[in-house]
Structure 1
């Protein structure tokens, strides 16, 4: 009888140790992995984060809160400029029923390329906002498209290349990010 009791006691201790190992070991391993950087930290955004964000409140305070794909029209509209205009228009169109929550916006100044401004007629969904060049001079560069949140902060940017193929790929990245932002946001 004592022998059976001893076997039961050993089996109980063994079961207890297994249960502790099953629940405690993963917690210990996770803590070690975090402290020692044993894994690559993943990012789900495809654009480049602006850190810190850039406030666009001086330009957009009077506008309705929306998510914006914003581009600043340069003084000479080259292939990069044409690709950026094409990209923001295509992304806005691809948003479909969510497009009312977003806006494709081109910031223009008195120095912006006049021929390119006239070509914006080809993109009826792209809105323009005219501002003084001194206002945008130090804010952002004109070779990127920016995602501006509903509180008027530029938070992501996409570098646009001269190649139409790479611009299309970057458009896909913009679309993926803006869809994700619209899905997670209740504003705009």
Structure 2
């Protein structure tokens, strides 16, 4: 093989992947963001205060819009069942009920966190959210009354939560 032929083939094989990648991005052949099942928030929402340095716990919160109605109760049941299914990883997760309004009735299953009325959390109302140790809401999942979609939502939450816990490097 001649020197010029080798150089030409070398340049083609070096630049061909770059050109194909540029075309894939330009013509939307690439579908990004399909790793997580939940919906990432576009803006930073700090829903809860940061935890102490020795606590390494992800928080899984049900956020009702107003008082805890039937949809909220179904979300609490879903989170409780999913929490039980975590097994030994339960020590790394804290399920809770987060509300802007004080909850009058006692929810025996979950700690209740009430934030100040001044903060606006309307983009996470009627959602189940995953909150990191800094108090930042990362992913949200809609509350649903349909049993089939609840099973899908629980599977998605579990998948995303386990990925987040495995790749957590905040306090390592």
Q: TM-score under structure 2 normalisation?
A: 0.79
Structure-2 residue corresponding to 1:89: 80
Residues 1:144 and 2:135 are matched in the alignment: no
Q: CA deviation at 1:53?
A: 2.0
Contact 1:83 1:164 in 2 (8 A): no
CA RMSD of aligned residues (A): 2.7
- Provide the C-alpha distance between the structure 1 equivalents of 2:127 and 2:145, rounded to a whole number of angstroms: 12
Residues 138-147 or 105-114, more deviating? 105-114
Deviations 1:62-98 (A, max 9, x none): 66452111113542521x2122111211222222222
Structure-1 residue corresponding to 2:37: 46
Q: CA deviation at 1:149?
A: 1.0
Cα 1:70–1:132 shift into 2, 3 Å: closer
Cα 1:29–1:109 shift into 2, 3 Å: closer
Contact 2:51 2:133 in 1 (8 A): no
Contact 2:50 2:133 in 1 (8 A): no
Q: CA deviation at 1:132?
A: 6.0
Structure in which a larger fraction of residues adopt helix? 1
For structure 1, list consecutive stretches of 5 or more residues without a partner in the other structure.
1-7
Structure-1 residue corresponding to 2:19: 28
Structure-1 residue corresponding to 2:148: 165
Cα 1:50–1:61 shift into 2, 3 Å: same
Residues 1:77 and 2:50 are matched in the alignment: no
3-state secondary structure, aligned to 1:55: coil
Determine which structure has more spread, i.e. the larger CA radius of gyration: 1
- Provide the C-alpha distance between the structure 2 equivalents of 1:146 and 1:32, rounded to a whole number of angstroms: 36
| Count of paired positions | 167
Residues 33-42 or 157-166, more deviating? 33-42
Cα 1:16–1:154 shift into 2, 3 Å: same
- Choose from 81, 85, 91 the match for 1:100: 91
- Provide the C-alpha distance between the structure 1 equivalents of 2:10 and 2:132, rounded to a whole number of angstroms: 48
Q: CA deviation at 1:158?
A: 0.5
Q: CA deviation at 1:24?
A: 2.2
- Provide the C-alpha distance between the structure 2 equivalents of 1:91 and 1:14, rounded to a whole number of angstroms: 61
- Provide the C-alpha distance between the structure 2 equivalents of 1:145 and 1:39, rounded to a whole number of angstroms: 29
